[in-house]
Structures are given as structure tokens and as C-alpha cells.
């Protein structure tokens, strides 16, 4: 991750963990993008993946997505921020 990557300034640890986990799950790791925005005292991290990879990230009944959210929220404590993780298609 570089300093110019979106999300790096708002929640660097959480963004790095999210990128690492999602890239390890999908078929096309180069297509993974995380956009960060701030509002209501939280940082919102929006994940976009390549075509056909969204199902892999969400998992059955959303279990994989919920696990990713849990891990990223724990990593965000190092950044001293609260995060919400959204998966966009």
C-alpha cells in the first residue's frame, strides 16, 4: 500500500488488512479497490472487486463478509477509528 492509495490517510492499518484479506480470496487481486470516506464519526471502507469475485468475498449467507468486517474492525483499533466495511458490485 502506498500513501496515495485511498483510505491510507483515514485508517491505514484497517485498509491494509482489508486489502490483504480480500486480495487473498479473489481470483483477480489486481482488480480489488478500497475507497474510504469519513462521516458520522466513522470511516466507511467500500470494497470493489472484479467481475465474478463478489460472491467469493460475501460467502454463503454472508459469513465471509461478516468475518472480514470483524477482522478489519479489530485492526481499526490501532488506527483509533471505527470503521464500516461495505461490499459494492
Q: Read off the pLDDT of residues 20-41 as tens digits, 9 standing for 90 and up.
A: 999 999 999 999 999 999 988 8
Give the span between the Cα atoms of 84 and 60, in whole angstroms: 20
- Domain extent, residue 72, equals 12-88
Which residue has cell 488506527?
79
pLDDT over threshold 80, residue 15: yes
| Residue 85 grid coordinates | 466495511
Strand 42-48 and strand 82-88: pairing?
parallel
pTM listed for this prediction: 0.87
| Cβ–Cβ < 8 Å for 34, 26 | no
More confident residue, 33 or 5: 33
2 found inside a domain: no
Considering only the C-alpha atoms of the chain, give the largest distance between any 2 of them, rounded to a whole number of Å: 35
4 found inside a domain: no
Please tell me what DSSP assigns to residue 61: G
Give the CATH number, domain containing residue 48. 3.30.300.20
7 found inside a domain: no
- Looking at the structure of the chain, the number of domains it has is 1
pLDDT value for 4: 41
Amino acid at each position: 500500500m502506498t500513501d496515495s492509495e485511498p483510505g491510507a490517510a483515514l485508517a491505514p492499518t484497517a485498509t491494509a488488512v482489508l486489502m490483504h484479506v480480500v486480495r487473498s480470496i479473489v481470483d483477480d487481486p489486481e482488480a480489488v479497490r478500497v475507497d474510504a470516506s469519513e462521516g458520522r464519526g466513522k470511516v466507511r471502507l467500500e470494497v470493489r472487486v472484479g467481475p465474478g469475485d463478489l460472491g467469493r468475498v460475501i460467502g454463503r449467507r454472508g459469513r465471509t463478509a461478516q468475518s472480514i468486517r470483524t477482522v478489519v474492525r479489530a485492526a481499526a483499533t490501532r488506527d483509533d477509528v471505527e470503521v464500516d466495511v461495505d461490499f459494492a458490485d
